[in-house]
Amino acid sequence: MSEKPPPSSSSSPSAVATLSPLNRVLSPPLNLLPPNTPPHLFPSAVSYFNSLPWCAALINDHSPSAGRLPGHGQAIAFIPQCFNPVSARHDQFVGRTLSHGHPDAGSHSSGSSEGEGEGRTRGPPIRHLLSLFRPADDTELRDPSRPILRVATLFALGDGTSGYEGIVHGGLTATILDESLGVVNELNTALGKEGSLFSASSVTASLSVKFLAPVATTEKAICVTSWVEGMQGRKTIMKAEVTNGKGEKLAVAESVWVAVKPRL
């Protein structure tokens, strides 16, 4: 979920259920296996990003002390719920509109650039998505009182993403940032971390984006690193940045997320 919903006088079960945690995080390494998950979804994403050297390093490096995702051990991979919707009524924008229902998820080919040959495409706007986290030490993952505070999310972009020719539309960049920020609290909910922030769904209260450099449509993958700056009651103060394979910073964001009350 992203934008903060408008106030509603409805108290129907369906209205409340829409904002309830959906527990759709997919992570075979953590034995998080939501029902009715497409069987190809996780392995195809891991395979694709492992085919790109800089992404493979992010996934497989052991206990890096710096970089996008420092921490203890190897990164733990998962698919967030926006790319694994529970039904056709949920997460439609990213999970269906931008991914076309994952028809390209089984393909590892980078394809051609936009406009190269009639009928030749690189798949939907978002072909693959894979999030990663690395615990700070060997106890953080299992300790319910210690939330995960940093997540890196890889996006493989396809066709139909440009604003100006050759440049990814700023609205898509903002969407990618927004979804990546939301993944942090979503992960902690899936891991059973303690606190009111993780027992309810969180939504975007504010999002400020600075575009620093164009995101080229020819990028085979980009990375959004999101982290928690602070927690205040039901609010999570967060930041994020978009980088490419060269480590160049393309956009940054500051955001506040709010855990919604049980009934709106």
pLDDT tens, position by position, 240-255: 999 999 999 999 999 9
| pLDDT beyond 60 at 197 | yes
Burial of 53 (0-12, 13-18, 19+ CB in 10 A): exposed
Structural contact between residues 147 and 193, judged by C-beta atoms closer than 8 angstroms: yes
151, β-bridge pairs: 226
| pLDDT beyond 80 at 193 | yes
pLDDT tens, position by position, 25-58: 999 999 999 999 999 999 999 999 999 999 999 9
Tell me the CATH number of domain 28-98+123-259, given options 3.10.129.10, 3.40.462.20, 3.10.20.90, 3.40.50.720.
Answer: 3.10.129.10
E strand or H helix at 181: helix 170-190
Percent of the chain predicted with pLDDT > 70: 83
| pLDDT beyond 80 at 177 | yes
More confident residue, 116 or 135: 135
pLDDT tens, position by position, 150-171: 999 999 999 999 999 999 999 9
Nearest residue to 225 (alpha-carbon basis) of 64, 87, 102, 112 = 64
pLDDT tens, position by position, 14-33: 444 455 566 899 999 999 99
Structure tokens at 112: 């051609």
Q: How far apart are CA 245 and CA 33, in angstroms?
A: 30
In sign, the C-alpha dihedral spanning 239, 54, 245, 220 is negative
Nearest residue to 185 (alpha-carbon basis) of 206, 199, 175 = 199
- Identify the pLDDT of residue 260: 87
Q: Where in the chain are the domains? A: 28-98+123-259
